[in-house]
């Protein structure tokens, strides 16, 4: 078997650093994408249906101020977005086996919404099909940062 020449060994050493760094970056990006893909997105004041592979006996929401759960039957639950933020949901069967364990991301949808700013005050309207003032939108003063 031939031994590599000194030039080949030097080239291999020079490439191994950047190649290893590239592999680390790709692995980190893959982990971030997998984490993002694993989250269940729920719109504020909307619900998402989840079908389970087996009957559930325990349902736990990490932060009930962000999401709530309604059990429709042993294999069907609805997740309701109550407040913007991130929490988690764990569903277990009678034997304590995890049937569902995911991060829940609740955010407000902007489609069909309009905000009108008059100085520091904003009034929000839902515009599907006609524009109507949203409840709780009392033209309150904006935060210190002003309009977005």
Strand partners, 8: none
Is 147 a domain residue? no
Q: Are residues 91 and 118 in the same domain?
A: no
Whole-angstrom Cα distance, residue 72 to residue 67? 16
Q: Are residues 47 and 76 in the same domain?
A: yes
Can you give the pLDDT of all 148 residues of the chain as single tens digits?
Answer: 566 666 656 655 665 555 444 443 443 343 344 344 588 999 899 999 999 999 999 999 999 999 999 999 999 999 999 988 999 999 999 999 999 999 999 988 767 778 888 888 888 887 777 787 776 655 444 444 444 4
| pTM as predicted | 0.54
Q: Are residues 53 and 97 in the same domain?
A: yes
Q: Where in the sequence is the domain holding 34, given as residue range(s)? A: 1-38
Q: What is the count of structural domains for the chain?
A: 3
Q: Are residues 97 and 132 in the same domain?
A: no
Q: How far is CA 53 from the centre of its chain?
A: 22
């Amino acid at each position: 078997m031939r031994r590599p020449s000194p030039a080949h060994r030097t080239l291999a050493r020079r490439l191994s650093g950047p190649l290893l760094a590239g592999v680390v970056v790709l692995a980190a990006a893959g982990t971030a994408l997998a984490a993002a893909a694993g989250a269940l997105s729920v719109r504020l004041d909307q619900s998402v249906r989840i079908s389970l592979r087996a009957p559930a006996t325990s349902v736990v929401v990490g932060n009930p101020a962000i999401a709530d759960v309604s059990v429709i039957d042993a294999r069907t639950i609805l997740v309701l977005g109550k407040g913007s933020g991130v929490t988690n949901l764990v569903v277990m069967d009678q034997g304590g086996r995890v049937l569902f364990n995911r991060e829940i991301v609740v955010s407000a949808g902007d489609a069909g919404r309009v905000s009108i700013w008059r100085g520091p005050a904003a009034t929000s309207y839902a515009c599907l099909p006609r524009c109507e003032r949203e409840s709780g939108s009392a033209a309150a003063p904006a935060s210190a940062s002003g309009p977005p």
